[in-house]
Amino acid sequence: MKQIALTTAFLLAAAAAQACPDYRLGGDVDYGFTGDVLTREREYAIQASGGQALTACGFQHSGYVPSAPTMSFRLLRMDHYPLEIRVEAECDTVLLVNAANGEWYYNDDGPYGYNPQINLRGSAVLNGRVDIWVGTYGGDTCFGDLVLETDG
């Protein structure tokens, strides 16, 4: 009986962990860009949604995101280019980014109201795979655009 209880507890913990944001799941699209290419704004139609509460996953931030990244990008030659990642949507969205060096970045309300914005710089942060989750503050769903642009 004790073994069954331990197995059940382990399976429940594993299921909960799988529901959290996981960069290993990869985003829907995996593009490769260099800093000079991103000097021209790139815009991607996305669906902001999320069933996973960030606070339940150990993050100190509010909002809900999907388990898999909304999009994943492979970035090269970003050494001298700061990258701006932002969302333009009609609902209150959140932005979660796992940078190339494994660091997590979050923003809820950027400088333009309910639309989040994150600015990243540095070769360790940007050279490699960058995973992006676009979620919502309240767990609802809406459509919008994910925008990437460097300051060239």
Domains of the chain: 21-150 (2.60.120.380)
| Residue 14 pLDDT class (50, 70, 90 cuts) | very low
Per residue in 97-112, pLDDT tens?
999 999 999 999 988 7
Q: What percent of the chain has pLDDT over 90?
A: 66
The whole-number average pLDDT for the span 35-40 is: 89
Q: Helix/strand/coil (H, E, C) string of the chain? A: CHHHHHHHHHHHHHHHHHHCCCHHHCCCCEEEEECCHHHCCEEEEEEECCCEEHHHHCCCCCCEECCCCCEEEEEECCCCCCEEEEEEECCCEEEEEECCCCCEEEECCCCECCECEEEECCHHHHCEEEEEEEEECCCCCEEEEEEEEECC
pLDDT at 27: 67
What does the pLDDT read at residue 8? 35
Whether the predicted pLDDT of 142 surpasses 70: yes
pLDDT in tens, 55-88: 999 999 999 999 999 999 999 999 889 999 999 9
